[in-house]
Structure 1
Amino acid sequence: MTFIFLKEHLRQRHYNWSGEPNHSIQNKEIDRKTFDPFNGFQVLFIINYFGKSIGKLTVTDGLKVEELISTQLPVNAKSELSVFNWLRGIYLFYGN
């Protein structure tokens, strides 16, 4: 059984939850769609997608990813794909 990081796990409370999840979330694949770090649906999607890609996800892991997104996301990471690649680079560099 795969762990899913949920809205209730998020620490930050600045997220926007209006509207529908974007098509990437519905298709369960990242793409070049614009990433909005204030959109709760997209943040949850990236956290869970990243966890799935590295083969593990706990609440602690998800909170680390959330913290990275909210405090260190480069301004040039504008798409879901660029955010994912940035997270992958951070993960590989720090070794978790």
Structure 2
Amino acid sequence: MHFQKQDLSGTHYTWNNEQPAFTGQPSRRRFDKNNGDQVLYLINFYASLAGRVSLLEGRIIEQTITRDLPDAAKSEVSAFNWIRRSAFPTL
């Protein structure tokens, strides 16, 4: 499943008007957990590696980012690696 803006449960996000805002692999670009485009990007990148990810699993990843992402995870790479270890450690 490809996650879209309407699939997220949070309403606090800021959004870029650029399409596509984030592509490719996670980089050392600063990660902002309040940027909806960036949160969607990491959920969809995770899903591309994990295979099929349900709406519920995507929302679990979203909530994990919102509530539990450590402040030390400042880049997309560090946020993605933390998600991979924390949300669904099988990937």
Verify same fold: TM over 0.5: yes
Q: For residues 1-96 of structure 1, what are the structure 2 equivalents within 5 Å?
A: 3-20=1-18, 25-26=22-23, 28-90=24-86, 91-92=88-89
User: How far is 1:22 from its partner?
Assistant: 7.7
On the 8 A contact 2:27/2:77 being kept in 1, the answer is: yes
Q: Which amino acid in 2 is paired with 1:58? A: S
Output the TM-score relative to the length of structure 2.
0.88
Alignment: residue pair count: 90
Give the C-alpha shift of residue 18 in structure 1.
3.6
Runs (4 or more) in structure 1 with deviation over 2 Å come to: 18-23
Contact preservation (8 Å) 2:16, 2:37: no
Shift of 1:17: 0.9
Structure 1 unaligned segments of length 5 or more: list them.
none
